[in-house]
Amino acid sequence: DAGVTQSPTHLIKTRGQQVTLRCSPISGHKSVSWYQQVLGQGPQFIFQYYEKEERGRGNFPDRFSARQFPNYSSELNVNALLLGDSALYLCASSPPTGNYGYTFGSGTRLTVV
Amino acid sequence: DQQVKQNSPSLSVQEGRISILNCDYTNSMFDYFLWYKKYPAEGPTFLISISSIKDKNEDGRFTVFLNKSAKHLSLHIVPSQPGDSAVYFCAASDEGNKLVFGAGTILRVKS
């Protein structure tokens, strides 16, 4: 049974560019959340989507956007990249019921140069 | 505004002994608390959780204690094993749509 899959695993971009990160949740999970983990810190909440609707948004600028598709996969887009956007981006999925059963993917390591 | 704090960046424990990882929080609206373990190049893996209506939850070698009046929780690992060496994150939630994480504690279990 496949877990949460994220692509790509690593990415190097230049300042000012745009990036799209992808996530496929566990089969049957309808909720997807995105987190940013900067080195030395814990993951920080960016977005949550449930049934293609945005359910929550963290304290991130409008350069960050996301969407969820009918098959419950999700994309995170970041525009006008800054050096400070360099981080591990984690996707987590959770089942439709139950309490906080988040399963995380291995993440996408984004480096902005 | 750090709502969840793990004040010990690292902890070193001898194999077979108890590991105690601590976490403090400031938001009294948090109603669910979780511990995650993270190895390098992997995502966080769920370990154990506790609802705010309980003060203890046990799962094998792992026990989480919650002291609501002190806004403090701790994770006990007994006995500690070398494979437990990882970064441990404390997380909390108040509405079910997001987790607030601490900065993590690096646990090293020496054999």
Confidence of residue B2 (pLDDT cuts 50, 70, 90): confident
pLDDT of B33 above 60? yes
Contacts of residue B33, Cβ cutoff 8 Å, sequence gap at least 6: B23, B25, B49, B50, B52, B64, B66, B73, B90, B91, B92, B93
Instruction: Return the pLDDT at A28.
Output: 87
Contact (CB, 8 A) for A93 and A25: yes
Q: Mind listing the pLDDT tens digit for each residue in B72-89? A: 999 999 999 999 999 999
Query: Residue ranges of chain A with pLDDT lower than 70?
Result: 1, 96-100
Those of residues 57-86 in A touching chain B at CB distance below 8 A are: 58
- Flag whether residue B93 sits within 8 Å of chain A, measured between CB atoms: yes
Q: B103: which 2 tokens? A: 């900065």
Smallest CA–CA distance from B90 into chain A, residue: A42
- Flag whether residue B7 sits within 8 Å of chain A, measured between CB atoms: no
Rounded to the nearest 10 degrees, how much is the dihedral formed by the CA atoms of A68, B48, B11, B14? -140
Q: Where are the beta strands (DSSP E) in chain B?
A: 4-5, 10-14, 19-25, 32-38, 45-51, 56-59, 62-67, 72-77, 86-93, 100-101, 105-110
Confidence of residue B59 (pLDDT cuts 50, 70, 90): very high
Those of residues 62-91 in B touching chain A at CB distance below 8 A are: 89, 91
Are B98 and A4 within 8 A, CB to CB?
Answer: no
- Flag whether residue B39 sits within 8 Å of chain A, measured between CB atoms: no
